[in-house]
Amino acid sequence: MTGSTRAIGIAGLVGVALNIVAVVALQPFTSPYSPADVPGWLASCAQYPIRTAVSSFAFTFGLVALAAFAAGFAAKLRTGPAIVAGVFIGLGALLDAAGTPAPLVALNTEPAIGEAFLRFTLLLDATFNGCIAIGLIAAFFAQPGKLRWLALGAGILSGPVAFQWASADAARLLALAGPVWLAWITATSIGLLRTEQ
């Protein structure tokens, strides 16, 4: 197995694992990453500062790992659709990673400013979901085998979540879309790790 293939697979699995850790840390929060109740989200950050820190750091490093996976995916397949997939997934992940520390900053500001920071990270998360939707649909055209259908399904489900910055209904769809694209990255990463063994 080539070192680069192994690194791509590991990056994908690390990204998935850290995103799951971040989501689990947010379980007791009120409306995280949703416009439904931003003051409640801010109050939850204050009530659970350790969980806020765990979630922020896990999301940030996990998203950077996903960006590395996306770049590797594009480099491995070396086709036009694969490059589109890598660029959109990677760009969306890095943009999102720039905002995921914002809840920590929100803890140390006035409530109005804190809410603005949370709305900022919400917007970047919505941007990520829009980018990953495009990237996953491109991956459908790039990836051989049955996993391409999982990519297509994840892309279609993720598209509406791009409106989560304005719609609580769109934000709720993340509970369905998120596990599907995490499953695609997991399966693709495992497939890469098994390649050339």
User: Which pLDDT belongs to residue 1?
Assistant: 46
User: Which pLDDT belongs to residue 158?
Assistant: 97
User: Which pLDDT belongs to residue 2?
Assistant: 59
Residue 96 has pLDDT above 80, yes or no: yes
Q: How confident is residue 139, by pLDDT bands cut at 50, 70 and 90?
A: very high
**Number of folded domains in the chain?**
1
Task: Give the other-Cβ count within 10 Å of 53's Cβ.
Answer: 16
Rounded (10°) CA dihedral 134, 139, 142, 143:
-170
| pLDDT tens-digit map of 149-193 | 999 999 999 999 999 999 999 999 999 999 999 999 999 999 999
pLDDT averaged over the chain?
95
Q: How confident is residue 3, by pLDDT bands cut at 50, 70 and 90?
A: low
Distances (CA, A) of 70 to 14, 20, 43, 104, 157: 13, 18, 35, 27, 19
User: Which pLDDT belongs to residue 4?
Assistant: 87
Percent over 90 (pLDDT), the chain: 93
Domain that holds residue 150: 3-194
Query: Token pair 């929060």 is at which residue?
Result: 29
Q: How confident is residue 39, by pLDDT bands cut at 50, 70 and 90?
A: very high
User: Which pLDDT belongs to residue 183?
Assistant: 98
Residue of 30, 73, 79 lying closest to 189 (CA atoms)? 73
